[in-house]
Amino acid sequence: MSEHIERTFVALKPDTVKRGITGKIIDIFEEAGFKICGMKMVWADSEILEEHYAEHVDKDFYEGLEEFMSSGPVVAMVLEGVNAVENGRKLVGSTDPKEASPSTIRGRFAHMSFDHADSSDTLHKNVIHASAEVDEAEREISIWFDEDEVHTFEQAHESQVR
C-alpha cells in the first residue's frame, strides 16, 4: 500500500439502519473513491461498546450511549482510500449536525442538534461514526473485525487511477 493509502473504520449507527438509509451512505463513500474492505451488520453488545467507547465509559452520558448503540444493528465497515481517515471525516461532517455542511453525511441525514438533544433530555443521534486518527482507526478495526474479515483486493478501475 502507498503511504497515502489508509484504512479507516466507519459505523452506521442504529438510527441509520432503522431509517433505511444505509445504502445511500455507502454510495457516498463508494462514489468518493473509497474501497470497502470489510462490512458486516452487528448487533453490538456491551463488551464491544465498552471497548470501542473506552474513553467515555465513566462519563454520565455513557449509559444512554450504550443503550442507543445496542438498540438495533450497526453496519460496521472498513474503508480504504487515499488519506482515508481525513477524507472520510470530511465526508461525514461535524459531530454536531447543526454545524455540519449540508453536503456532508451528517448535514444531509442527521436531524438532531446537541442543543435539541440536551433540551429534550435525549441522546444525540448523529447517524454515523468515523475514526478521527489513523491509530484510532487501527484500534477500532481490530475491535469490530477479525483479521480474516478484512480483505485486500484490486478494484477494476485501480490500475487506471494509479
Tens digits of residue pLDDT in 115-124: 655 556 565 6
- What are residue 37's phi and psi, to 5 degrees? -100, -15
Report how far residue 90's alpha carbon sits from residue 120's, in angstroms, rounded to the nearest whole number.
Answer: 29
Contact (CB, 8 A) for 129 and 68: no
Nearest to 117 by CA among 132, 95, 102, 101: 95
Q: Evaluate if residue 154 carries a pLDDT over 90.
A: no
Residue carrying the nine cell digits 484500534: 139
Residue carrying the nine cell digits 438533544: 117
Report how far residue 127's alpha carbon sits from residue 149's, in angstroms, rounded to the nearest whole number.
Answer: 24
Domains of the chain: 5-145 (3.30.70.141)
- Catalytic member of 56, 129, 151, 157: 129
The dihedral sign for the CA sequence 113, 40, 27, 30: positive
157 is catalytic: no
Tens digits of residue pLDDT in 26-43: 999 999 999 999 999 999
Written in H, E and C, the secondary structure of 46-94 is HHHHHHHCHHHCCCCCHHHHHHHHCCCCEEEEEEEEECHHHHHHHHHCC
Residue 162: band (very low, low, confident or very high) from pLDDT cuts 50, 70, 90: low
- Region 98-123: mean pLDDT is 74
Q: Evaluate if residue 157 carries a pLDDT over 70.
A: yes
Beta-bridged to residue 7, according to DSSP, are 80
Q: How far apart are the first and last CA of the chain?
A: 11
Quote the DSSP letter at residue 42: E
Tens digits of residue pLDDT in 40-88: 999 999 999 999 999 999 998 899 899 999 999 999 999 999 999 999 9
The reported pTM is 0.89
Tens digits of residue pLDDT in 127-149: 999 999 999 999 999 999 999 99
